[in-house]
Structure 1
Amino acid sequence: MKSSHFSIKEITATIAFNVRHPVLREGKPIESCHFSGDDLPTTFHLGYYIDQQLVGVVTLMKNNHAALQIDTAFQLRGMAVLSNFQKRGIGDALVKKAETMILARGGTLIWMNAREIAVQFYEKLGYEKFAKPFNIPKIGLHFVMKKSLSKSTTSG
């Protein structure tokens, strides 16, 4: 494939459903893609476009984790990249852009409930497991992961 033009930009939750649905909620009603908090003013959604096609999404919500007690924490949710675009650095780029934007919004920590198959991906980006793993029926084992943010953790 020849060089493509890509961009990462803020999108709406509804636009994010276009990738969330086939990757995270396949076979379920489209309404299952809506997360509580999707429409809060402190929540933002990023889309990764190749040329004009949306191929990856991630949602960031200002949300504390009970075990953290940090008012400046954001939760990463709904990270998804279309299957035929995976393993190309798109997820890395989305997470790094999200970290930069969280810092700009006064956030100092990012956390998520990572599916077991995604733990290694997040560990490579500097995230660490904490709290006890838990199972979500029909989805699988999840690990709570976190990363403290500072200007030095998001550069380069």
Structure 2
Amino acid sequence: MNFNIKQIPSEETHSVRHPILRAGHPIESCVFDGDNLETTFHIGIFSESKLLGVCSFFKNNSSSFSEKKQYQLRGMAIVESHQKQGLGQLLIKHGENILKTKHAKLVWCNARETATPFYTKNGYKITGDPYNIKTVGIHYLMYKPL
């Protein structure tokens, strides 16, 4: 199967974010602060014209890290029928390559507990203790130097 990865508008991410990350919540919960900033970009992975996965990168410095140019990876989601097939890894690698062109030094995320093995496999490390995000569950702060 051939896949195409390209930048997409933030609104296009909602059709994948909603059932995977915000099931049972209003569609408006898929709109994240900073989604429409000029420094934020969103990428989607497609098979033909069908959107199968999304990932967003938000220029955001966490006080947990000393690097000056940081981006937060957010809204990572693959449609259920295509999970565990390597699409998430393709998306993250593509996004990290874009970040390198922007001279970013670090990417970090608030990873759901269930997603930590995926991020670890892709070179991310956990820092600090687990924490709960209300209505979403246990998360870990994870990061990767670029």
- TM-score tier by shorter-chain length is over 0.9
Instruction: Give TM-score scaled by structure 1 length.
Output: 0.91
Aligned length: 146
> Counterpart in 2 of 1:124?
121
Report the identity percentage.
44
CA offsets, 1:100-129, max 9 Å, x none?
A: 000011101000000000001010111100
CA offsets, 1:33-65, max 9 Å, x none?
A: 000000001000000001110010000011101
Gaps of 5+ in 1: 150-156
Gaps of 5+ in 2: none
- Secondary structure at the aligned position of 2:76 is classed as strand
Deviation at residue 87 of structure 1 after TM alignment: 0.7
Query: Is it true that 1:30 corresponds to 2:27 in the alignment?
Result: yes
Distance 1:133 1:66 in 2: 17
The AA in structure 1 aligned to 2:81 is N
Which is worse superposed, 134-143 or 72-81?
Answer: 134-143
Task: Give yes or no for contact 1:116–1:142 (8 Å, CA) kept in 2.
Answer: yes
- Secondary structure at the aligned position of 1:78 is classed as strand
Instruction: Give TM-score scaled by structure 2 length.
Output: 0.97
Distance 2:103 2:14 in 1: 27
- Secondary structure at the aligned position of 2:62 is classed as coil
The AA in structure 2 aligned to 1:137 is K
Alpha-carbon RMSD across the aligned residues, in angstroms, is: 0.9
